[in-house]
Amino acid sequence: MDGAPRSNDATTEGPFLRFGLSGIALLYLALFLVLPLVAVFVEAFAKGFGPFLAAITEPDALSAVKLTLIVAAISVPMNLVFGVAAAWAIAKYEFWGKSFLITLIDLPFSVSPVISGLVYVLLFGAQGLLGPWLQEHDIKIIFAVPGIVLATIFVTFPFIARELIPLMQEQGTSEEEAALSLGASGWQTFWRVTLPNIRWGLLYGVLLCNARAMGEFGAVSVVSGHVRGLTNTMPLHVEILYNEYNFTASFAVASLLALLALVTLVLKSVLEWRYGDEIAASARH
Amino acid sequence: MSWSTARLRQPSVIPGFRLTLGFSLAYLFLIVLIPLGALLLKAGELGIGGILDIAVDRRVLAALKLSFGASLVAALINGVFGLMLAWVLVRYRFPGKKIVDAIVDLPFALPTAVAGITLATLYAKNGWVGSLFGPQTWVGSLFGPKGLMIAYTPLGVIMALTFVGLPFVVRTVQPVLADFDAETEEAAASLGASRLSTFIRVIFPALLPALTTGFALAFARAVGEYGSVIFIAGNIPMVSEIAPLLIVTKLEEYNYAGAAAIAVVMLAISFVLLLVINLLQRWNQARMRA
């Protein structure tokens, strides 16, 4: 996003206005974004390193970390396979109803996280449509790990697909057609031609998908049931500690999530700077 | 190839159409469409009349008003500062610009619960920011004997929603501004337009579709936002209770139909928003091409 700064007087602002605008914009960013980020870490270490370490190594915290990792490890690959399949179907073929399909794929982004959790409660909950059948067969989805995974998949559903669709549309079909005409099979074409072409865009989508999957709160909160040590993810653990006025411990766990956000931002920026052309032109949200 | 696929899609030598589209559709139905269908079914048990009865309940109406009102204010704030940030990031050169550019995405990356507890702590009466507006301070005393309360009031809700929505406006306006043709500006200047009138008459109209799209995206996100709001809101019924929280409350009371009804009302409004956003984006693209 390095637009050439203008030097021509007629098409730029005077120095005072320039400094003024930059000052206000940067101050806004510092107050509204940077200050909260700093505050997370300050609060986490407010009582020193000992209490911080104790808060993140306590058994309930560790089980929350474990559950968060498990949920991300299931939901991200699921959405990865879907993203690649959907992008392949949409980018490589012309068929009826394609733009409607793209709209449907984006749908979870315009649904409140709370509603994303609610729909599964209405489907699988004790009073839900399939509730009685599930109870008969002793299958627990709501207030259990499967519900958390489903809600996470729902909220992160579009991430990888929407990175890959524009990228693969832009790349067209000529390279695949060349490979096929030289005798490669469909799978060979995918692994050796398409995948190398989309790898950075794919990684970019996975990065964003993972950040959301590990950090999701609203949807997961509705389906989890908040059982300590069993159905608590890291964001839910943060909430419980905060509501118990155990602020230092709450911010300690929160700081791990903030660190994840920072790592995500750094990797995302590196991908944008180094492989900007190989990530979809419309990669930015 | 059966007659239907032959008619509905153009032929291609690339294999895998049935596999990829079939899998995508099955996954879409299982994860998204069938669960959303369950929601409509549950709300449908109440009938349109029943849904409306719940929607005009005083507490529900207050929550909807707060959710949509605070989201509108937050999106407006983001419209102004987002445009300013995009402008500074595209047009000016300053040290650390790449880092500043990366930080804009922080609200996308930071889990909402983390943002929630942090903002609540910062804006509380004894917090870093909240204490600046207490009754004992000069700024606070401007707002009366109690000072300006931010956390646990609708103002706190607006602050949280502003945090969440900022990247949408910046990221929508930024590429349009970067692609903006310098010649148009030069032409305006050479014809004697002042910098201000060039901005108002030439640049701003060109940015308006992108700005509106960013505004709408920030607004839509804010309406459904939950995690970053509930800690700072205080969740006082009729005062600072947002609609998504009311859904959770109904669920905890095992009032599934009530929760579904509020959700459907919110979704209906969001659906209209999505439609408007799509139209705006098409309008934007058409203008960009022209």
* Domain ranges across chain A: 16-45, 48-283
CA distances from A204 to A26, B98, B109, B164, B190 (A): 27, 18, 13, 21, 43
pTM: 0.91
Q: How far apart are CA B143 and CA A73, in angstroms?
A: 50
Is the pLDDT reported for residue B176 higher than 80? yes
Local structure of B9: helix, strand or coil: strand
Listed as ranges, residues in chain A with pLDDT below 50 are 1-7, 281-285
Q: Do A96 and B162 touch (CB under 8 A)?
A: no
- The total number of residues shown for chain B amounts to 290
A-contacting residues in B 244-263 (Cβ below 8 Å): 244-245, 247-248, 251, 254, 256, 259-260, 263
pLDDT more than 70, % of chain B:
96
CA distances from B231 to A153, B121, B153 (A): 25, 9, 11
pLDDT more than 90, % of chain B:
57
- Torsion sign (Cα): B15, B18, B19, B20: positive
Shortest Cα distance, chain A CAs vs residue B9, angstroms: 4
E strand or H helix at B100: helix B97-103
With cut-offs at 50, 70 and 90, classify the pLDDT of residue B277.
confident
Torsional class of A280: left (φ above 0), alpha (ψ -120 to 50), beta (otherwise): beta
DSSP state of B238: T
Q: Highest mean pLDDT range out of B11-15, B106-110, B141-145, B272-276?
A: B106-110
Q: Do B226 and A93 touch (CB under 8 A)?
A: no
Shortest Cα distance, chain A CAs vs residue B145, angstroms: 26
Q: Of B211, B237, B206, B198, which Cα lies nearest the Cα of B65? A: B237
- How many CB atoms are located within 10 Å of the residue B149 CB? 19
Per DSSP, the residues of chain A read --PPPP--GGGS--HHHHHHHHHHHHHHHIIIIIHHHHHHHHHHTTT-HHHHHHHHHSHHHHHHHHHHHHHHHHHHHHHHHHHHHHHHHHHH--BTTHHHHHHHHHGGGGS-HHHHHHHHHHHHSTTSSSHHHHHHTT---TTSHHHHHHHHHHHHTHHHHHHHHHHHHHH-SHHHHHHHHTT--HHHHIIIIIHHHHHHHHHHHHHHHHHHHHH--HHHHHHH---TTTS--HHHHHHHHHHTT-HHHHHHHHHHHHHHHHHHHHHHHHHHHHHGGGS-TT---
Residue with tokens 């109904």: B250
Query: Are A266 and B102 within 8 A, CB to CB?
Result: yes
Residue in A with minimal Cα distance to B128: A39
Shortest Cα distance, chain A CAs vs residue B35, angstroms: 5
The one-letter code for the residue type at A269 is: S
pLDDT tens-digit profile of B75-84? 999 999 999 9
User: Is B132 exposed, middle or buried (CB count within 10 Å of its CB: 0-12, 13-18, 19+)?
Assistant: middle
Shortest Cα distance, chain A CAs vs residue B90, angstroms: 5
**Cα angle value B210/B220/A117 (rounded, 5°):** 145
Q: What is the pLDDT, as a whole number, of residue B288?
A: 65
Quote the ipTM score.
Answer: 0.91
Domain A48-283 fold is MetI-like fold (1.10.3720)
**Residue B117 with chain A: CB contacts under 8 Å:** 238-239, 242, 250-251, 254
Is the pLDDT reported for residue B2 higher than 60? no
The one-letter code for the residue type at A26 is: L
**Residue A273 with chain B: CB contacts under 8 Å:** 98
Give the CATH architecture of domain B55-289: Orthogonal Bundle (1.10)
CA distances from B99 to A29, B95, B96 (A): 12, 9, 5
Is the pLDDT reported for residue B163 higher than 60? yes
Beta bridge partners of A95: B9
pLDDT tens-digit profile of B21-73? 999 999 999 999 999 999 999 999 889 999 999 988 999 999 999 999 999 99
Local structure of B254: helix, strand or coil: coil
